[in-house]
Amino acid sequence: MSQGDAMTASDATQCIWLTGATSGIGRALAERLLDRGHRVALSARRFEALEALAGDRDNALLLPLDVTDRAAVLSAGDRLAARFGRLDLAILNAGTCEYLDTRRFDSALFERVFAPNLFGALHGIEAALPLLRRARAEGRRPLLAATSSAAAYLPLPRAEAYGASKAALSHLMESLRLDLAAEGIDVSIIHPGFVKTPLTDRNDFPMPLRVDVDTAARAILAGLDAHRLDIHFPRRFTLALKLLGSLPPGLRFRLGRRLARAPETTETPS
């Protein structure tokens, strides 16, 4: 365990639920949270992958599920209630990405992308909120977090489905933060730029300022520890996207068309 991951006196053991735990950012987060000594419920579709991730750690609870299956997610919430009794932190990280070719517009692609990215998160919120409320009733400050994308900041070519699903997720989470504040439940939205994962390894375009999963995990955990609303990185990239997203629509359109003319340079974070 590195010094930066060592548990401190102020870093009391938490009960945590992490979806999308076996690959990419999720796996890096899972390993660090387990090494910190937290009790971590790990969810992904394949039980064997969860077993391999948990190893012999006795602070891991394996909850295999498909986040698009509402009944399965709610059942996992029941298991969490029985084992943990509460949740101090829920990280809804599961998601996917597909790019659209408008010459062969396919509404089914949108359904495939929205199912885990938005509705999977909604199912997780429904299951997690009662347990986050239990933590609050015990005098804790619970946190609900979800992994969106820097693509939510700016419409980009080929990202119609992916960007829309992440923008919807970001809007949802920011709205929830307003409504849940009165209950003492905080909300964080994670907006990564490009991170080297099996998902981005499939991309067929340059990915500026791409970071490794360890860098991503450190940035995310620092933001979660601070209960930050918007956890975004690498900041040089994400601040640039925010700035571009604030430009007048006509200027955004002209800039976006330049990207559309050269698909190999399309930049869509995952």
| Domain ranges for the chain | 12-265
Q: What integer pLDDT is reported at residue 112 of this predicted model? A: 98
CATH homologous superfamily of 12-265 equals: NAD(P)-binding Rossmann-like Domain (3.40.50.720)
Distances (CA, A) of 23 to 101, 192, 225: 26, 15, 22
Q: What integer pLDDT is reported at residue 107 of this predicted model? A: 97
Structural Rg of the chain based on CA atoms: 18
Q: In the chain, which ranges are continuous DSSP H helix?
A: 24-35, 47-54, 70-83, 107-114, 121-137, 160-180, 213-225, 235-245, 249-261
Of the candidates 229, 233, 246, the one whose C-alpha atom is nearest the C-alpha of residue 154 is 246
Is-contact 45 70, C-beta < 8 A?
Answer: no
pLDDT tens-digit map of 27-85 = 999 999 999 999 999 999 999 999 999 999 999 999 999 999 999 999 999 999 999 99
Q: What is the pTM of this model?
A: 0.88
- Please identify which of the residues 84, 114, 119, 162 carries the catalytic annotation: 162
Rounded to whole angstroms, the Cα distance separating 150 from 124 reads: 21
Query: Taking the CB of residue 245, how many other CB atoms lie within 10 A of it?
Result: 13
Contacts of 177 (CB under 8 A, 6+ apart): 186, 187, 229
**Is 153 an active-site residue?**
no
